[in-house]
Amino acid sequence: MTPETIEGYGVRLRPCHLADVPEMVAGCADPEIRRFMPLLPDPYDSDAARWWVTEGAPAAWAAGGAAYTIADPATDRLLGSIGLTRLSAERATYEIGYWVGAAARGRGVATAATRLLTERAFAAGAARLELLTRTENVASQRIALACGYRHEGVRRAAGADGDGVRQDLIAWVRLADDPPGPLARLLPDLPDGRLTDGVVTLRPVEPADTDALYRLHSLPEVVANRVPPVAPERAALARRCRLAASRWLAGEAADLAIVDAVTGAVVGGCALFYDEPATGQAMIGYSLLPEARGRGLAARTVRLVAGWAFGIGVARLWAGTRPDNVASQRVLERAGFRREGLLRGRLPGPDGARVDSVVYGRLATDEN
């Protein structure tokens, strides 16, 4: 690639200019940008910005990559920055990265710039582009999906904070012959961000739900139905809540908080795991805090999730319970599930024992 200006999708990508320095300083001092780009100079001042324009960006081009200013086509003013790092000349593999200033966020600028540079890179001979995101950077993961990048897995400890702490990164990849996107998601967003019947509301799990879910999953009766049946550490629950949005985007699980629609209190948790996308099968699990039991909230939850799941293309839902968990079996029956059989020794139990599992199923064609 050569450092020439390109335009498309409502943005301009051009070489960096010294006139960009004030906007670069303002953008790179933004706490939101620094949160995901912790290795930027601190403080990021005009000297750091001028170094990038006069030395950093030219070095990126000289190394076979690219370094563009994202500019407003009408004013040519800086909106952000985007570039490519050549990872392997032999394999024609590059990493794409970007940032967008606060004033330009929410306008599709990053998506437009990523789409434009992706197309230009492939036209120039790139075979594979990688977009690495922090696990909690949900906005960037949505951009990857919108631009046709596919979730390829987690690179453990591939990133680092300024203090040397290692961080996992999610790899999103697009090949030259992949469709341009946006990619269809196994687990789309909930309509209006939630499901509700006026009594119970289900919404995506958030980091603020950690305390409630830790209390829930530490209850002996809930621990007994975990796989394996071991109480979680609080740090593990905090990480689950922190990564819930990312796992949803990747199609791994729809992790839901069960909320009392009247009080707004979190009263339980529910998750849908798309365990067999090829066959259209997903698994559901749920649990309630003691103060919410006996009010029919679990059955309402399962009905709401089932309705949404069948609406997004799931053909079959299943759930398993321990043979002695009669309460959960009644919930499933009230929600239209049918008992299908017993799987002997399916689950790990305490002290190395195996525990049977009673299987319930519901088809999209079943009547509730």
pTM: 0.88
Whole-number mean pLDDT of the chain?
A: 94
Q: What is the pLDDT of residue 165?
A: 82
Neighbour count for residue 20 (Cβ, 10 Å): 23
DSSP secondary structure string, 3-61?
A: S--EEETTEEEE---GGGHHHHHHHHT-HHHHHH-TTS-SS--HHHHHHIIIIIHHHHH
Confidence of residue 31 (pLDDT cuts 50, 70, 90): confident
Q: What is the pLDDT of residue 128?
A: 98
**Average pLDDT in the 245-259 region?**
95
Which residue stretches of the chain are H helix?
Answer: 21-28, 31-36, 46-51, 57-62, 109-123, 138-146, 210-217, 220-223, 234-249, 297-311, 326-334
Percent of the chain scored above 70 by pLDDT? 99
Q: What is the pLDDT of residue 167?
A: 87
Q: What is the pLDDT of residue 345?
A: 94
Q: Which two tokens stand for residue 323?
A: 């043979």
**Average pLDDT in the 212-226 region?**
92
**Average pLDDT in the 94-104 region?**
93
**Average pLDDT in the 297-301 region?**
97
Q: What is the pLDDT of residue 144?
A: 97
Q: What is the pLDDT of residue 22?
A: 95
**Average pLDDT in the 14-22 region?**
96
Q: What is the pLDDT of residue 89?
A: 92
Q: What is the pLDDT of residue 226?
A: 85
**Average pLDDT in the 306-327 region?**
95
**Average pLDDT in the 315-344 region?**
96
**Average pLDDT in the 216-230 region?**
89
Kindly tell me if the per-residue pLDDT of 295 is higher than 80.
yes
Q: What is the pLDDT of residue 1?
A: 75
> In whole angstroms, how large is the CA radius of gyration of the chain?
24
Q: What is the pLDDT of residue 368?
A: 65
Of residues 353 and 368, more confidence is placed in 353
Partners of residue 320 on adjacent β-strands: 359
**Average pLDDT in the 9-23 region?**
96
Q: Which two tokens stand for residue 91?
A: 């394999």
pLDDT digits (tens, 9 = 90+) for 40-85: 888 889 999 999 999 999 999 999 999 999 999 999 999 999 999 9
pLDDT digits (tens, 9 = 90+) for 169-186: 999 999 999 999 899 999
**Average pLDDT in the 199-212 region?**
97
How far is it between the farthest Cα atoms of the chain? 71
